[in-house]
C-alpha cells in the first residue's frame, strides 16, 4: 500500500488532502503542532492514520515522521504542506521584523528541505514523489507579501533544483490557489473570505496529480481541475 507523509494536516488544505488520499487507499503519517486538533482531525479521516503532533522545525520530530512511515513500508510521497504566514497584518518589507522573517524561512523553506533530505533515500528506491505546497505569492509581487512570498519563491527554486538533481524522484511545487483557510483569513484580517473555495475543492486535482505522475515541475491545481472537466 502506498504511504504518504503530509505535514500541517490538522486543518485546512493538509487535512483535505489527507481525506482525499485516505479515500484512495493510501496509508498516512500526518502531523500538526496542536496535539488536540491533530487527534480530532485524525479521528475524522476515513482510515487509520498515524498522527504525530510536533513542529516541522524540530529535527527529532522530522526523524519521527520518517520512522513512522518506514514502519508502514516507507514513504512514497512527501507532502510539505505545513507553513506559516508570518505577522498579520503583513508588514511591508521596509518594516518587516527580521526575527519574524527568520521564523517564516525556517518553517517554510528550511524544514521542508530538511524533511525531503531524510525522505530522499527511500523515495529514490521507490520512485516516489515530493510535493512542496507553494503560492502565487511566490511569482507575483503583492504589496505586504514580501516575507511569505519570498519564502515561497525560495521553495520553488529549491524544488526546481531538487528536481534537476533527483531524476529518480518526482518533485512538484504545487499552487493550490486561494482557499478558505485560517492562513488565508490571517492574510486578510477582518475581511470576508467566504467567496474563496473550500480546500476540499482542489482534492480531485491533487489526486489527479499523484495518480498521473507528470514530469517534475510547477503545478497549478486550477489547471488540473480544468483539464479534468474538459
Q: Any idea which residues carry the catalytic annotation?
A: 148
Distance (Å, whole) CA 116 – CA 135:
19
> Could you give the CA distance from residue 22 to residue 30 in angstroms, rounded to a whole number?
11
Decide if 11 contacts 41 (C-beta within 8 A). yes
Q: Which of 154, 135, 148 is closest to 101 using CA atoms?
A: 148
Cβ neighbourhood burial of 227 (10 Å; 0-12, 13-18, 19+) = exposed
What are the φ/ψ torsions at residue 112 (nearest 5 degrees)?
Answer: -60, -40
CA–CA gap between residue 5 and residue 50 (Å, rounded)? 9
Q: What grid cell was written down for 97? A: 521584523
Cβ neighbourhood burial of 127 (10 Å; 0-12, 13-18, 19+): exposed
Give the distance between the most distant pair of CA atoms in the chain. 50
* 213: Cβ contacts below 8 Å, ≥ 6 apart: 129, 170
Backbone angles phi, psi at 53, to 5 degrees: -70, 140
**Cα–Cα dist 153/150, whole Å:** 5
Amino acid at each position: 500500500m502506498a504511504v504518504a507523509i503530509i505535514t500541517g494536516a490538522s486543518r485546512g488544505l493538509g487535512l483535505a488532502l489527507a481525506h482525499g488520499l485516505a479515500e484512495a487507499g493510501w496509508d498516512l503519517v500526518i502531523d500538526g503542532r496542536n496535539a488536540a486538533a491533530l487527534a480530532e482531525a485524525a479521528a475524522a479521516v476515513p482510515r487509520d492514520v498515524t498522527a504525530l503532533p510536533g513542529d516541522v522545525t524540530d529535527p527529532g520530530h522530522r526523524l519521527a515522521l520518517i520512522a513512522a512511515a518506514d514502519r508502514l513500508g516507507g514513504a512514497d510521497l512527501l507532502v510539505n504542506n505545513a507553513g506559516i504566514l508570518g505577522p498579520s497584518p503583513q508588514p511591508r518589507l521596509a518594516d518587516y521584523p527580521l526575527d519574524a522573517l527568520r521564523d517564516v524561512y525556517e518553517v517554510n523553506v528550511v524544514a521542508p528541505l530538511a524533511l525531503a533530505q531524510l525522505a530522499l533515500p527511500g523515495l529514490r528506491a521507490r520512485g516516489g514523489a515530493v510535493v512542496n505546497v507553494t503560492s502565487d505569492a511566490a511569482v507575483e509581487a503583492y504589496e505586504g507579501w514580501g516575507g511569505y512570498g519570498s519564502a515561497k519563491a525560495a521553495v520553488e527554486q529549491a524544488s526546481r533544483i531538487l528536481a534537476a538533481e533527483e531524476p529518480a524522484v518526482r518533485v512538484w511545487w504545487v499552487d493550490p490557489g486561494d482557499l478558505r483557510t485560517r492562513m488565508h483569513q490571517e492574510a486578510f484580517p477582518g475581511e470576508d473570505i467566504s467567496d474563496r473555495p473550500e480546500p476540499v475543492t482542489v482534492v480531485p486535482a491533487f489526486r489527479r496529480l499523484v495518480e498521473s505522475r507528470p514530469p517534475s515541475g510547477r503545478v497549478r491545481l486550477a489547471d488540473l481541475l480544468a483539464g479534468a472537466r474538459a
